[in-house]
A and B are shown apart, each in its own frame.
Chain A
Amino acid sequence: MFGKKFGVVAASAALVSVVLTSCGGAEANNGGTQGQEAAAADGKKSVTLWIFDADPMYQSAAEATAAEVGVELKYEYIQDETYKTKLSVALAANELPDVFQQHAGKSYRTPVLQSKTVAPLNDTLDSTGLGAQFLDNQLVTEEDGNIYSVPSNISTTLVLYYNKKLISELGAAAPATWEDLQALIKTANDKGMIPIALGGKERWQADLLYDMLVAREDVNAFDKAINGQAKFTDPPFVEAANKVVTLVNSNAFQKGFLGSAYLDAQELFKNDKAVMWIDGSFNFSSLSTAMGDNLGYIAFPKTGAEDVLSATIGFQNAQAPYSLFVNNSSANVDKAKEFAIRLSLKLNDEFVRKGLPGYAKSEVKSESQNKELSAYAADINKTSKTQAMWFGLLSADVGQEYRDLTQALYGGQLTADEFTAQLETLLRTAE
């Protein structure tokens, strides 16, 4: 009797352990931070890398870097919106990959630094001599005097792209002023084209456009208001909010833009459905690959009192750039550090190759003859101020609420006055 019973127990225990070990085994074979066993087998150390940029350039650069450093690469692309939640989970659990990308802006950067899970890179930057490659102010030194990240993208600013083919079909020119912009919106609507494609679902694109409109009213409006020298209910903020309302009411954006995902909206622009597209300069390379000569660029029009070259919205790599961080509990942290630094430089080469202003010295020659890019490079050198995107200056939860608020403005739920009043309350208490 007992023997039989014991047999069943033993059998089910064996079954359980088979399943458990087969799962555990799968994990071990699949690399990652615990992937040492597998990596050791062929004598190569492995590095897991998380990237949220869909641009294939990242993968090829990472593969080339891995070959250079002599590590086995586990490249993992994770969809942007998923990435944000995933990374906060991984930070809380200390389950980070060896190297990971993080978004620009303080709200994304601070949690990473606070989690104390990332390794300082100073030693490797010095010992390899690679630190000297980076241009001035491109590596962020934190309060403790250490450098924790290397850039994964160039300083980015908000620009207005337009579709040259559609503009010429409309017999119009790229808008230089608020009146031009309104006229163009009307012409495009009359011809059945979408004037401006906007991805409202993720909310950030609409939020950046509002930041830009405020900066065009008064370059220093945000700085003054956030420092308490002015209020968010002051004229520049109200006027910009009114302009948003005007844009929405004149059908400047595609039907249902509040529910459109960023990438879907971008597709409307790329496929000759929408005339204009307001996005970061980081997208120059992928847009020009897709659209060729059809892609036009201008600095954001003079919609208010300030000149077009007075300011732009974006972020400087000196503050809180798109970054690569290295997990300090990575099994082969030294290799990971070297990998991250070399990847950053490799990416820089790619940017330079495309004719963009890089963040480090590069021996690569620009292959691009793109006039639009040269125009952008010239403009950005002349632009007096880069106003950091507001979201990047706010904490994670206040930032999200700010985006909810702008969505309510775009959705017609709030008037300009109600919006600015709530903005004042939100950002004032946030301090």
Chain B
Amino acid sequence: MLRKTKNSSIYILMIIIAVLQLFPLYWLVISAFKDNSEIIGGTVWALPAEWRLSNFTEAWVSAKVNQFFGNSVIVTLVTLLFVLLFASMMAYALTRMKFKYNSLILFILLMGVMVPIHATLIPLFMILKNLGILSSRLSIILPYIAVNLPIGVYMLSAFLRTMPKELEEAAFMDGCGVVKSFFKVVLPLLKPPLASVAIFVFLAVWNELLMASTFIQKQELRTLPLGLMNFSGQYSISWGPLAAAMVISTLPILLAYVLFSDQMEKSFTAGAILK
């Protein structure tokens, strides 16, 4: 009996927290269907009097949310690809190979984990300008790769240190070169920590606003955070289309999360093994 009350009170607690987490999102969704007078004048949590789709068409057509979303996907994927590739190669070199400045390089990289990217903003701007890539996608992709490499190397080399060498040695005996045994044997074994790094990097890149807003000058190249910021300036007047834009841009991520949440939890478990 006592146990039952305890259980149901825990349920109630969990439901309350769930409501707290979801209520702002509920408000976002209903606002996406309202027009301005209803948002400013009506009851804030009431369902819309009429389920207008015009906000969504406006967000899609005039605000080009699809374009921002596509840009964010491109930038995030390219960054992810290179961070994972470079970081695993570097981590492998730093943990398995023997050379002079090994520890110095590791030290500099580890400092990079803690240094805020904002500190690089002003000179980066000059470097990008001199390289002539300011205002292309590369102007944010390259810095994103650079700033996310340290955490990647840090997490992967921690994993590699605990990983036995036997498999690589066996592959090497079979006549694979270092390069081939790395891609054929080591990389597949790195999957779990790579997934953790991927999630970390994804969140960092997907959210980044400072560099994007400083370096991306062209409208067609704006990423989602930047696009929404801008949209909010032009349309803060009409919160409905802005809310619709937010709903549109969250849906694919939400879908991806629901589909892959099991894998994600697994990779978090793997990440948690890291010491």
Contacts and interface: CB of A to CB of B under 8 A. Distances in A.
Interface of A: 1, 4-5, 8, 12, 19-20, 23-24, 26-27, 30-32, 54, 74, 76-82, 85-86, 89-90, 92-95, 97, 261, 263-264, 266-268, 270-271, 273
6 smallest beta-carbon distances between A and B, as pairs: A79-B233, A27-B136, A93-B129, A263-B236, A76-B219, A23-B137
Given A4-B177, A8-B179, A26 B137 contact: yes
Nearest to A9: B179
Question: What is the size category of the interface that chain B forms with chain A?
Answer: 35 or more
Contacts of A74: 218-219
A340 to B, nearest CB: 18
A58 to B, nearest CB: 11
A27 to B, nearest CB: 4
Nearest to A263: B236
A74 B126 CA distance: 25
B36 A271 contact: yes
Nearest to B214: A89
Chain A interface, DSSP helix/strand/loop, else mixed: helix
A268 to B, nearest CB: 8
B236 A78 contact: no
A198 to B, nearest CB: 16
Contacts of B220: 30
Nearest to B178: A5
8 contacts: A4-B177, A5-B179, A23-B78, A23-B137, A26-B137, A31-B218, A76-B219, A85-B213
B180 interface: yes
B180 A95 contact: no
Contact of B230 (A1, A5, A79): A79
B120 interface: no
Contacts of A263: 233, 236-237
A261 B137 contact: no
Nearest to A271: B40
A100 to B, nearest CB: 11
A1 B181 CA distance: 12
A97 B217 contact: yes
B263 interface: no
A261 B236 contact: yes
Interface in B84-137: 85, 125-126, 129, 133-137
A23 B230 contact: no
Given A23-B137, A27-B137, A270-B237, 16 more contacts: A19-B78, A30-B221, A54-B234, A77-B234, A82-B229, A82-B233, A85-B214, A86-B214, A86-B217, A89-B125, A93-B134, A261-B236, A263-B233, A263-B236, A264-B236, A266-B237
Interface in B133-153: 133-138, 141
Contacts of B233: 54, 79-82, 263
A35 to B, nearest CB: 9
B136 A24 contact: yes
A1 B214 CA distance: 46
B125 A82 contact: no
Contact of A5 (B136, B177, B237): B177
Interface string B197-235: 000000000000000011001111100000001101110
A4 B180 contact: yes
A79 B213 CA distance: 11
B273 to A, nearest CB: 29
B26 interface: no
Contacts of A32: 135, 217-218
Given A8-B183, A93-B126, A77 B230 contact: yes
B211 to A, nearest CB: 11
Contacts of A24: 133, 136, 138
